[in-house]
Amino acid sequence: MEQEEKEPFQLIDGICWSSEWSFESLRYALEYEPSPDDLFIVTYPRSGTTWMQNIVYNLQTNGQPFDADREHFFAQNPALEIDGEIGIELMQRPAAIKTHLPMDRVPYHPLAKYICVIRNPKDVCISYYLLYNSWGDVPKFEFNQFFQYFIDGRLPFNDYFDVLRSAWQRRNDKNVLLVSYEEMRTDLRSMICKIANFIDIALNDELLEKVLKYSSFDYMKNKYDAERRLFEKNIIDNIEDKEAAAQRREIFMNESGIKVVRKGEINDWKSFMTPEQSRQIYDRFMATCKECEGLENYWLKWNIF
Ligand code: A3P
């Protein structure tokens, strides 16, 4: 595989990558051969991935919340390019494999299923910026600097617009379901029905109410990040190699500010972005629309101006 040096991230076989994560896992992800019963959740970071994972998990477990058995929840939701082979081996199908690879790089099987979640690029950029700066082992950026990396597509997990384009172009495939964060935020009930139908889960009123409750913003805000921290701490406590454990513990301590579930609003970008930055995103979005029939309606519907 080609490897080019590029500061502060590296381009590994066309994927922009941080040295915080293993190269082997990324390689495993790119070469992974899916099973017919695999389900993928395909997103750009900060588009509602964790929320979708929760909804799918609730549906697959007849309404079990993630905090009822955190080990099980995280085992059932591996991140393909971060967890690599071990993540896939620990998972027991039916499960959901999370990936931030662009759809045209996600391992394909005609019988596997793919749920893509898209979100307004301006909100994604802000949310990613806040998350990025709470990662323990990356150079810190001011917002303007981060924005430039975002608009150039030079952040870990590549170019937002490429991920958007490649998902949109596949949205009518039989084994693809594309939903937006904004639809989930405004009509979660209908989205849950759509998702259940797509993954062949028989939904009754009782299950629907449980999924609504356990994937609600308030429920997740109260519990998700605390559960995630406990899960990570447990892994570190069980690393036998003392040096490796100390390294992981240091990163873990530096990442205490991470909030995967943060504010959960539509159009939160307005308090951060300058008109010029907003216009640059608009231009990139409209350029992407040229390759994606109907995509401009997404922008118009959610009034992203
Ligand atoms: P904000 O930072 O705008 O609040 P991902 O899981 O892809 O990293 O996405 C994270 C974004 O989804 C964050 O957005 C987070 O708050 C939001 N989110 C997570 N769970 C949510 C929920 N149950 N309802 C609404 N938004 C949620």
Domains of the chain (ranges, CATH numbers): 9-302 (3.40.50.300)
Q: Judging by DSSP bridges, how do beta strands 176-180 and 113-118 pair with one another?
A: parallel
Among protein residues, the one whose CA lies closest to atom 14 of ligand 1: 264
Q: pLDDT tens digits, residue range 195-211? A: 999 999 999 999 999 99
With beta carbons less than 8 A apart as the criterion, state whether 219 and 213 touch.
yes
CA of 140 to the centre of ligand 1 (A): 22
Average confidence score pLDDT of the chain: 94
Q: Is 122 in the pocket of ligand 1 (CB under 6 A)?
A: no
53 lines ligand 1 (CB under 6 A): no
Residue 5: pLDDT over 70 = no
**In this predicted model, what pLDDT tens digit does every residue of 133-152 receive, in sequence order?**
998 888 899 999 999 999 99
- One DSSP character per residue, 34-56 reads --TT-EEEEE-TTSSHHHHHHHH
Strand arrangement, sheet containing 15-17: 3-4, 10-12, 15-17
- The bridge status of strand 113-118 relative to strand 39-43 is parallel
51 C-beta closer than 6 A to ligand 1: yes
pLDDT tens digits for 43-69? 999 999 999 999 999 999 999 999 999
Choose one of 42, 46, 215 to mutate for the ligand 1 pocket test, by most ligand atoms within 8 angstroms of C-beta: 46
pLDDT of residue 305: 67
Pocket test for ligand 1, best of 41, 47, 49, 50 (most atoms within 8 A of CB): 50
Cα-to-centroid distance, 268 and ligand 1 (Å)? 12
Cβ of 262 below 6 Å from ligand 1: yes
Q: What pTM was estimated for this model as a whole?
A: 0.96
Confidence of residue 2 (pLDDT cuts 50, 70, 90): low
pLDDT at 206: 98
**Could you give the CA distance from residue 167 to residue 111 in angstroms, rounded to a whole number?**
17
pLDDT in tens, 14-49: 999 998 899 999 999 999 999 999 999 999 999 999
